[in-house]
Amino acid sequence: MTQEAMAQLVANTILQGSDAMYGRFLDVTSGAQERFEQQDWKSVQQALKTRIQFYDHHVGLVSQQLGAMLGKAHATRSFLMAVKAAYVTLLDDYPRYDIAESFFNSVYCRIFEHRNIRRDKLFVQSSQGGRIPKYPTPLLRRFQSQAGIYATLERMLDSTPFTLPWRDKSGDLKRVTQILQARFGPQLTMSFTLEMVRQPFFRNKGAYLIGRLDMANQRRPLVLPLAISEQGELYIDACITDSDDVSIVFGFARSYFMVYAPVPAALVDFLNQLMPNKTPAELYTAIGCQKHGKTELYREFLYHLDNSDDLFDIAPGVKGMVMSVFTLPSYGFVFKIIKDKFAPQKQMTHAQVREKYRLVKEHDRVGRMADTQEYRNFIFPRDRFSDALIDELLEVAPSCVNVTDNEVRIRHLYMERRMIPLNIYLEKAEPDAITQAVQEYGDALKELAAANIFAGDMLFKNFGVSRHNRVIFYDYDEIAYLTEVNFRHIPPPRYPEDELAAEPWYSVGDNDVFPEEFRTFLLVNRTVADEFDRLHPELFEAGYWQQLQSQVKAGHFHDVRPYSEENRLGHATLSPKTA
């Protein structure tokens, strides 16, 4: 076989593998409505994990197949370039070129074990110039306001694929109509167009109808979250029309949506119009295409690097005992690498740390755990690193870092959204902001517990404050399933001398946790302590945590809504919102 013919065969094999992967991805996604309507919440969580795992599984299958086909004979630059050229030709007019390019990159990196990674051999930039493919069926349903707001909303709701009965469709529609009239006033009395994504979005216990209002002078997003009552009936739970509020629904600390998207680039393009502050990387990730989200994030990083001149430096805050964190001050992400050696009190291995991060990736993050993207052999320009950072990395992780005159190569790292560490935030915050942060921190612990997650190391330094002032957990090396933790009361001292002893007078097992001790390391600041006692005193009681465990073991799945009470139909503000 000629090199050209072999290159074409390899290119076809990789694209077929990408098609097979995404086909299974869509198969799992297509079951989201049935799982939602049957309220099969355990299957919802399992489907999330299953869908994530498809990608690496298919990359492995294709890599093995190519290994058997090629051996080492074709690992030459000319052959690799011929394969890429053949692949580019296959992607002309191909609807999922974005996913296919990332799949190609993954197969290449798997075969070469993340070595020999050069831009000319990979799709570091897309070959398609941002082309937006067409959907096989129209992406949107359009409704003209010929008979007023209520009638337009009713036609839209009747076009959805749900099979459950509505609890009070007329009442819900009247309330949504009132909210929209109050927020947009005269603009909705004139002609407007309602455009809605044809397929509903599903996540956890909710479904979401997502679209926009195209009015005379502005376009605004319209998101209608749906839920199921105790009687098994559908109802509209909220009405969201603000881009920032929609952005929170698509936040980086939440699980990925299930939405049937045969052409993800077109869906991402529409979502970007609703949330202009979101990047393609964030939106691809939010709809479950997290591997291509990783590709887009790297492209966005390279663009930022080319358009900035500041230096990478050690991230502010208390240094971690397991991870070393650095950042570029002008950039919205941090870079985390696992240290070669951990502090003595950290009894774990590198493999266990990576497993914790994998657990978070596949678990319901309930808006309280930051998502991460994992990279290997990540190359930075040496002249953008401060000397202090170079010294730090070579001291704590010499096995992972290689420095030359021109580049810094890091064998393994995580990229994660940058936030203000909660301990630093509390030190500088005004009283009202402290109250809000303490409320958020306690809510974060409770919502994580409801999702069967115990943070482990609960120090404020392991939590961050987002741009929306939400408290997010981001240090995962001691994370555990709540049901695996043994919450205990501290037994009373046997003798007065017990309280003065250097060691506890009671036995302590590996999984034992004493919530009464949380006060000792959390409530150093008097103002913070007072707010805790007012807002979350139950967090210091073993009985409260044991009750949460019982609920999780009984299969109770809490409602964790990604929107404020003010947007819910029973509480929604009727005052206009600014754009």
Contacts 24+ apart (CB under 8 A), 71-74: 74/3, 74/6, 74/10
Cα 526 from Cα 524, distance rounded (Å): 6
Question: What are the backbone dihedrals phi and psi of residue 293, each rounded to the nearest 5 degrees, phi first?
Answer: -55, -35
How many Å separate Cα 450 from the centre of its chain? 18
| 210, two tokens | 């997502």
Tell whether residue 315 is among the known ligand binding residues. yes
Evaluate whether 212 touches 230 at the Cβ level (below 8 Å). Answer: no
Lookup result for tokens 């929604």: 572
Report the distance separating Cα 550 and Cα 545, nearest Å.
Answer: 9
69 is in an annotated binding site: no
Phi, psi of 551, rounded to the nearest 5 degrees: -65, -45
Which residue pairs, CB below 8 angstroms and at least 24 apart, start in 274-280?
Answer: 274/210, 274/212, 274/221, 274/243, 274/246, 275/221, 275/243, 275/246, 275/247, 275/250, 276/243, 277/243, 277/244, 277/247, 278/247, 278/250
Sign of the torsion formed by the C-alpha atoms of 550, 553, 556 and 560: positive
Q: Which token pair is 185?
A: 């006033």
- Contact between 554 and 464 (Cβ < 8 Å): no
Residue reference for tokens 């210091």? 540
The answer to whether 73 is annotated as binding is: no
The residues facing 310 across adjacent strands are none
Residue 174 assigned ligand-binding role: no
Rounded Cα distance, 519 and 537, in Å: 10
Q: 512-513 and 486-487: which strand pairing?
A: parallel
- Is 336 flagged in the annotation as binding? yes
**Is residue 47 helix, strand or coil?**
helix
Question: 316: annotated binding-site residue?
Answer: yes
Tokens of 337: 């690498």
Choose the catalytic residue: 98, 245, 371, 477: 371
Q: Is 368 exposed, middle or buried (0-12, 13-18, 19+ CB in 10 A)?
A: buried
**Cα gap 295→283, rounded to integer Å:** 12
Task: Give the Cα separation of 153 and 188 in Å (integer).
Answer: 12
Question: 9-19 burial string, b = 16+ CB within 10 Å, else e?
Answer: bbbebbbebbb
Greatest alpha-carbon span in the chain:
87
Q: How far apart are CA 540 and CA 517, in angstroms?
A: 7
158 is catalytic: no
Strands 193-197 and 201-203: unpaired
> Is 339 annotated in some ligand binding site?
no
* CA distances (Å), origin 486, targets 297, 509, 513: 39, 9, 6
- Sequence-separated (6 or more) residues with CB below 8 Å from residue 13: 62, 65, 66, 69
CA end-to-end span of the chain: 62
Residues noted as catalytic: 371
Extract the annotated binding site for ATP: 315-321, 336
